[in-house]
Amino acid sequence: MKCGVDEAGLGPKVGSLFVVGVAVEGDLGDVRESKELFRRSLSTYARAEGIVLSVLRTLGLYSRSVADAWEKVFGRRNELYEGMEFPVFGGEEMGLPFRVKRLIAMEIPAHHLRRHRFLKDAKALVDISLKLNCSKVISGLAGGVKHYERFLAGWSRSVEAERIVYRRGEREILFVKGADKRFKEVALASIFAKYFREVHMMAVNRLAGFSGDIPVASGYPADPNTRHLVERLVKLNFTKLLR
């Protein structure tokens, strides 16, 4: 069994950060990194959605209601998703050559990321890596963080080529640069994190009055639509969605 962890949404000015870990077995050969699947077109979003919904169904986490499914996956209900239904992007469930045995996901709201967001990202990556309870977990790096000892007391640390390795007994957690490009299990975790982030941004866009088949404003600073989204959210007093 292979175990991977990754995040989506650390850099934006709007919306939550999502961190996801998966324990998976089977053929991961056709899994692509999330950047290839989410290319700002409905067809690519639908493909990624098909993968996610298929896994949620298998794990008993699926519900037609996004709010209901969110509660199952993240452990709490969020009124932001009330009234939304899957599929959000027209994706269809499919047969997959792999089986996700465990899925652990965290959503860190935007207003919690106004301070120490890199450390909060690092803590989430570590927490999920530990909860997966795998002998070896490969994780993406938290931005700007080189030391995870504060979250891994009692683990030994070594630095190898483009990776930081923590060991304790028979267990290993590897924080690897470009992990989603190099390890399929991390790429799969990244797909889930990115998908949850895009569903979240779809809900935020709708709240602000933007309509479209995919989120009009991504929330990233380089996106010219982000400024208009921020202005509308401030006007509507939804500042908790801003960082």
Give the tens place of pLDDT for each residue, 27-37.
Answer: 999 998 888 88
Question: Is residue 144 over pLDDT 90?
Answer: no
Answer yes or no: are the C-beta atoms of 198 and 81 closer than 8 Å: no
Q: What is the pLDDT of residues 179-218, one digit of tens each?
A: 999 999 999 999 999 999 999 999 999 999 999 999 999 9
Name the packing angle between helices 224-235 and 184-207 (round to 10°): 50
- Which CATH number is correct for 2-201, 3.30.450, 2.60.40, 3.90.226, 3.30.420? 3.30.420
Mean pLDDT rounded to a whole number for the chain: 96
**Where do the structural domains in the chain lie, given as residue ranges?**
2-201
* Per-residue pLDDT band at 72 (split at 50, 70, 90): very high
Question: Is residue 161 over pLDDT 90?
Answer: no
Which pLDDT score, from 0 to 100, does residue 150 have?
A: 95
Closest to 168 (Cα-Cα) out of 176, 157, 180, 160: 157
Q: What is the pLDDT of residues 88-134, one digit of tens each?
A: 999 999 999 999 999 999 999 999 999 999 999 999 999 999 999 99
The sign one gets for the Cα dihedral 62, 46, 140, 181 is positive
What is the DSSP code string of 172-232?
EEEEETTHHHH-HHHHHHHHHHHHHHHHHHHHHHHHTT---SS-S----TT-HHHHHHHHH
